Structure 1
Amino acid sequence: MQQDVIKQFLNTRKENEETLFAHPSYQLEQELLHWIKQANEEKAKEVLSKINNLEKARLSHYPLRSLKNSLICSCTLFTRATIKAGVTPEYAFDLSDIYIREIEKRDDPMLLQELEYEMVTTFIKAIRDYQTDPYQNEIVDKAVHYIHDHILQPIQLQEIADAANVSANYLSTLFRKIVGFPLIEYINRKKIEESKYFLEHTNSSLLDIAILFAFCNQSYYTALFRKYNGITPKQYKQLRNIG
């Protein structure tokens, strides 16, 4: 096995030399990751465009597979940069899992290229969300971060309180006082808001989305979506000409 890897390495080196291919500079890659960690979307996309204007490495004998592999590498780098910027690993890895699955679903090279820029936007948004302290209260912020980290799971008041090191009753009262509405409503609002990505960018059924976000059933998901948006998930998709 080791001999095979060495042979492939030497063949690849020879092929790259013959075709005058050079990988994008490490400096450009580090510059891209720097701007992601700084949550500077404009600069990050500017550097990404510079990288994409260069010839991509051949990571497979099949062009589409090679492009997908390249995007998975990008997703991995973006995930690490996001974690270094302060986002919890669990949340960053959840985003990574979602995007890698989406990469595998797409077969149009143009849509795949667009997805790479979308990843930059999403990971930077996650960084901004974690760097923002909208409520100016440590306990509430701990609760909010816990909810964000576990948004795809059933979330109970007691486990959030444990994460914030306070009693459930105290957290419930404090959260409502500072945020303006009950904690359970915040959880539902956040789940509904996050579910819009899957309505906009995937072919997932409403049932699959309801299950993904740990709603008890599709009807409850639809009812909550209508409550907070004034329209059903199906109408939301239609308004955006999706699916």
Structure 2
Amino acid sequence: MRHEKSDIYRMSGVKLMTSKKIEASNLVLISTNESENRVKIAKTYFQLERKLLNHIFNLEKELARYTLKEIQTILSDYIPESSTKAIQYYFIVMSSMVTRRMKEEKLLNDENAFTFNATCIVLIEQNLTEANAVEIGDELIEFYCYILKERDTPKLSHDTVNEVIQYINTNVEKQLVVEEIAKQFNVSTSHLSRIFREYTSVTLVEFIMIRKIEEVQYYLRFTDQKISEIAKKFHFCNQSYFTRVFKKYTGFTPMRFRKDLSGNYFQFSFNQDDSL
């Protein structure tokens, strides 16, 4: 059967039109699938973010670290060409969210909240690289939990001991002397020393030292102050003594602790039995 040229052109046109419609349909299908995938990713992302904040404020460090790694994976997969920058921005946003919630829960005043957030931003911007993004994320979680736990109100069963602990926490950078603390609370030195050890299992002198070492870790990790200056700031008699005491409690020299971001913080906890 012969076809006129015009018939062939018409048939070709039908094929061409059909081909274009199929191509357009495929594009719509791809676009729909991509849209659905983006919605799914966004939903997962915000679910993980809520979980992350809950883990942090419940001091669930390992769960918080795992959840943060999941968020980092989403960002890396979604923006592969700029994943490091995306993670950097997210860490800064995360620090702001944590700071804001600490402020709302009255764990930080305005000045401390600003300092805390600025410290996190400096840590992120000065240290984050593609190679250490996970390590920096772990360090931030460690720091958040450290600050949160530090601001826990003591719950020992002796009011004076609780108040003394809060006093030491507030004045940890000052030169703290047992006799002066006893005067502050209108009790004798011997009585204060006795009840403090009875309810905490450590002497008052040792607890003062413990709190100073805990606080010093922040200055070593997040400031560029010289170790000798930090030792002086916390009223250690000399750098050699400071190094010896610091290593006793943390297992590291101040220099090594400063360089090794993967090292955990030393943090003292009262035994559960001590609060009875």
| TM-score with structure 1 setting the length | 0.61
One-letter identity of the residue aligned with 2:216: S
Distance 1:43 1:236, change over 3 A: closer
Partner of 1:26: 46
Shift of 1:139: 3.2
Indicate yes or no: 2:60 matched with 1:40.
yes
Larger-gyration structure (1/2): 2
SS at match of 1:108: coil
- Return 5+ residue gaps in structure 1 as ranges: 1-16
Q: Distance in 2 between matches of 1:242 and 1:45?
A: 18
Shift of 1:73: 1.2
8 A Cα contact 2:154 2:162, kept in partner: yes
One-letter identity of the residue aligned with 1:25: Y
One-letter identity of the residue aligned with 1:138: D
One-letter identity of the residue aligned with 2:234: F
Q: Distance in 2 between matches of 1:112 and 1:135?
A: 39
Q: Distance in 2 between matches of 1:175 and 1:115?
A: 42
Q: Distance in 1 between matches of 2:51 and 2:252?
A: 41
Q: Deviations over 1:167-204 (max 9, x none)?
A: 44438666422333775653343222332455567765
Q: Distance in 2 between matches of 1:69 and 1:203?
A: 23
Shift of 1:106: 0.9
Structure 2 residue corresponding to 1:136, chosen from 157, 166, 175: 157
8 A Cα contact 2:103 2:113, kept in partner: yes
Indicate yes or no: 2:255 matched with 1:237.
yes
Q: Deviations over 1:117-155 (max 9, x none)?
A: 22223322443454474643333323323433554x436
Shift of 1:236: 5.1
Distance 1:107 1:46, change over 3 A: closer
Q: Deviations over 1:203-239 (max 9, x none)?
A: 653134336xx2358x6243244246459x9955359
Q: Distance in 2 between matches of 1:33 and 1:40?
A: 10
Structure 2 residue corresponding to 1:223, chosen from 241, 249, 261: 241
8 A Cα contact 1:64 1:109, kept in partner: yes
Size of the aligned set, in residue pairs, is 214
| TM-score with structure 2 setting the length | 0.55
Structure 1 residue corresponding to 2:207, chosen from 182, 186, 189: 186
Q: Distance in 2 between matches of 1:82 and 1:95?
A: 10
Distance 1:115 1:26, change over 3 A: same
Tell me the percent identity: 20
Indicate yes or no: 2:67 matched with 1:50.
no
SS at match of 2:238: helix
Larger mean CA deviation between 116-125 and 131-140 belongs to 131-140
Q: Deviations over 1:42-75 (max 9, x none)?
A: 33223222211112687xx986555433211111
Distance 1:240 1:91, change over 3 A: closer
Indicate yes or no: 2:136 matched with 1:118.
no
Distance 1:95 1:222, change over 3 A: farther
Structure 2 residue corresponding to 1:206, chosen from 222, 227, 240: 227
The root-mean-square deviation of aligned C-alpha atoms, in Å, is: 4.6
Shift of 1:92: 6.0
8 A Cα contact 2:65 2:141, kept in partner: yes
Q: Distance in 2 between matches of 1:240 and 1:118?
A: 12
8 A Cα contact 2:193 2:204, kept in partner: yes
Q: Distance in 2 between matches of 1:234 and 1:81?
A: 33
Q: Distance in 2 between matches of 1:85 and 1:110?
A: 35
Distance 1:179 1:80, change over 3 A: farther
8 A Cα contact 2:246 2:252, kept in partner: no
Q: Deviations over 1:64-100 (max 9, x none)?
A: 5554332111112223444566744466665444333
Structure 2 residue corresponding to 1:176, chosen from 186, 193, 198: 193
8 A Cα contact 2:246 2:254, kept in partner: no
Structure 1 residue corresponding to 2:124, chosen from 103, 110, 113: 103
